[in-house]
Amino acid sequence: MRNLSLHLFLFLIFFASGLSEAGAESLVPDENIHIKADSMSQGPAPGQVTAAGNVVVTWQGLNLTADQATYDSTSHIMLASGNVQVSKGKDVVRGQSLTLNLEDGRAEMDQATLTMPEINLSFSGEKITRLNESEFQVTSTELTTCDLPDPSWKFGADALKVNVLGYATGRNIVFYIKNVPVLYLPWIAFPVVREKKSGLLFPQVGYSKTRGAQLDIPVYWVISPSQDLLFDLDLLSKRGVGTGLDYRYIRRRGSEGHLGGYQIYDIHTDRWRWQLTQKHTEIFSETANLRMDVNLDSDRSFHADFGEKSGEYNRQSSETVVNALKAWQHYALAAHLRYSDDLYAADNRSTVQTLPALELAGVRQPVFKTPLYFDIDAGIANLYRENAPSGQRLQLFPRVSYQSSPGGSIQASVWAGALVRGYNTGRRAAGDGTRNSDGDLLPDVGARFSSSLQRGYDLDGKVLKKIRHEIVPEISYRYLPERSQERLPFYDYSDRMIWQNMLGFSVTSLINGKFVNGETSEYRDISRLKLSLFHSFEGGRRDLLTLVDEQHPWSDLILESDTWLNRNIRLIFDARYDLYGHRFSTAAVGLEMDDRQGNTAEVGYRMARNQLEYLEGHLATRYLKPFHLAYTVRYSFDRDDFLESVYSAEYRQKCWSVTTALRQRPGDNFSFSVNFNLAGLGGK
């Protein structure tokens, strides 16, 4: 059949003229072009074919339909007119007339509209010119990601050049909301592919009482498939011009990280101010890695003034930590460096810095063929601070333990060890440069006994079919002898071990269930509740808020609970109750609700007696579509004031959205921001 059509077509070209027939079909062999139409005719020039009525042309993956088309095999030119539509894949261009050169692929279409569903983008213009497989130009154009013919927004331009593998660029751009011009841009470039592409992201505008009017212009740069950079130009009317960056990268074996920073010459304080952050994880092997978390600030009030940029304006401290780990079958060696800046202290001269420390951990190993096990924790650290004694500290904690065989009704564990501490201290504060060596050894013994009581229940519920209830009672004991340690330097609480002769009691209740949903089933936790209480025969304990003396041997009653009221509602309650003062020492209550459709509610209460007391809440809803609303609040009862209130609203349409946020903080410090998002444009 193919050969018959070929010979027939050659015959028509060279020997026939003026031929017309209904439902004609033509195949041009040298161009691999296939033409169908209600009628076709030859001439008037040799090698010319004219098709009319429901014309369908296919060529190299392109499909063309029109009312009329003419093809000249000598010049390789296809002319089409009347309801012209050309499609390739999911991309479609429509217009009134088309000129297509089948030799070089160049094409021109008048009064055309190009739709690219893969990237949700549409172009329309007086003329669209196809330069090659991936590039075209549009004159007197409009572009949008909204549905045509009446888009919610659009960009207008005299001319636009588009590379479907990269970007669309143009000059003298006017941005319209409906048909109202609202913004002029001398130049624009944006990605028109699904993959990440470099480009100018949509600016964010706002106002803050302390920083003034704000315009944030972000630029996104894709360096490689594994690296990208976000650069911000931050214009603040009361503070100056800030610049920020966030560089992200991925390396081999899961190694990854990011480097961030912000810098501004603060005209209010007449000085440079900056922040530098870095997080990095380097995986050398399954047993060796390096982790870095760098947080450096130019001054102690940087977060209070510019913390909204990083989302942390009320940090209590900044810490830089570098940690390296190497593990073996029974041992792990870690080295770490820690530099801290206490932002709540008057200065940082008394803050202890660890520069550096080495720690060795040995897991439990059997001692020959006995039922005894041995483990050890050891560490040596160089501890430095400006206005107090500094030096080196050695800590050893070898331990021998016995543990009963699993499977019995009672699990028992007994252990004995020694806390060894050694110090080499320089009294630089005294100005004499002398050093002092000292040490201490404390025996440390303890035991733990526990059991497990379990029972299952079959239910006839539609969803909950079974529940399993487990009760775990436990008794523990620890003894540390009384020893004066005032002669030793004080770096942290491990330098002041508390004299203990203490018995502990706890009981834990665990409930989980089997839930059935149609033909599928799953096991989920329902409730966890633990009660703990300690009795001190002598010595003391280190409690945050409860004093310990001979008349008060009992600790606070400690309650920890986590309960799922149903799949979408979770209740958390942790508290410490003072048995002597008959009051709560601390309390933390939280209720979380999430319907998994964008509607959430959270409320939490935190209290530490004579220290802090505040209420926090968060509410977000999508019920009022197209509005997405959110509210976050923190109220301090001890300050009798709001710590923070954040109101945000997003108005979302199919092809655009606008988000507004209002933040109110103590000291009559408020700010608001407005962020526009055009679907398909400017997203990184």
Are 309 and 302 in contact by the 8 Å Cβ rule? The answer is no
User: How far apart are alpha carbons 349 and 385 in whole angstroms?
Assistant: 6
CB atoms inside a 10 Å sphere around CB 302: 23
Q: Which residues of 348-379 are buried (b: 16+ CB within 10 A; e: fewer)?
A: beebbbbeebebebbeeeeeeeeebbebbebb
Angstrom distance (rounded) from CA 35 to CA 107: 18
Rounded Cα distance between 214 and 232, Å, is: 12
CB atoms within 10 A of CB 477: 16
| Among 111-120, 159-168, 401-410, the range of highest mean pLDDT | 401-410
Q: Report the mean per-residue pLDDT for the chain.
A: 85
* pLDDT classification of 134: cutoffs 50, 70, 90: confident
Measured in degrees and rounded to the nearest 5, phi and psi for residue 267 equal -70, -15
Tokens of 249: 């990268």
Is pLDDT at 49 greater than 60 in this prediction?
yes
Q: What does the alpha-carbon distance between residue 24 and residue 148 come to, in Å, rounded to a whole number?
A: 35
| Three-state SS at 56 | strand
Q: What is the CATH number of domain 2-105?
A: 2.60.450.10
312, 346, 349 from 341: Cα distances, Å = 15, 11, 9
Tell me what percent of the residues of the chain surpass a pLDDT of 90. Answer: 42
- Spell out the residues 6+ positions from residue 47 whose beta carbon is closer than 8 angstroms to its own: 13, 72, 73, 74
544 pLDDT tier (thresholds 50, 70, 90): low
CA distance 446 to 170: 76
Extract long-range pairs of 232-238: CB within 8 Å, 24+ residues apart.
232/262, 234/262, 234/264, 234/309, 236/208, 236/211, 236/212, 236/264, 237/211, 237/212, 237/213, 238/208, 238/210, 238/211, 238/212, 238/267, 238/268
State in Å, rounded, how far the first CA of the chain is from the last one: 53
Global model pTM greater than 0.75: no
How do residues 487-503 score in pLDDT, each as one tens digit? Answer: 899 999 889 888 889 99
pLDDT for residue 17 is more than 60: no
Question: CA angle, corner 537, sides to 531 and 542, nearest 5?
Answer: 60
Q: Are 450 and 470 in contact (CB under 8 A)?
A: no
Q: What is the DSSP letter of 156?
A: E
Omega before 443 cis (within 30°)?
no
Question: 137 - beta bridge partners?
Answer: 129, 161
Mean pLDDT of all residues in 23-39: 65
DSSP 296-308: EESSTTHHHHHGG
8 A C-beta contact, residue 376 and residue 364: no
pLDDT of residue 187: 81
120: left (phi over 0), alpha (psi -120 to 50) or beta: left
Rounded Cα distance between 42 and 15, Å, is 10
Residue 512's closest CA among 565, 570, 463, 470?
A: 470
**What confidence tens digit (pLDDT) does each residue in 476-490 have?**
999 999 888 888 999
SS3 string of 517-572?
A: ECCEEEEEEEEEEEEEEEEEEEECCCCCCCCCCCCCCECCEEEEEEEEEECCEEEE
pLDDT 10s digits, 346-381: 888 899 999 999 999 999 999 988 889 999 999 999
Average of pLDDT values for 299-312? Answer: 77
Tokens representing 187 are 């130049």
Tens digit of each residue's pLDDT (9 = 90 or more) over 217-251:
888 888 888 889 999 999 999 999 999 999 999 98
Give the distance from CA 143 to its chain's centroid: 31
Q: Where are the domains of the chain?
A: 2-105, 323-332+342-433, 452-594, 620-684
Neighbours of 204 (CB within 10 A): 19
Among 508, 501, 495, 496, CA closest to 451: 508
Q: Per the structure block, which two tokens stand in for 142?
A: 């409009």
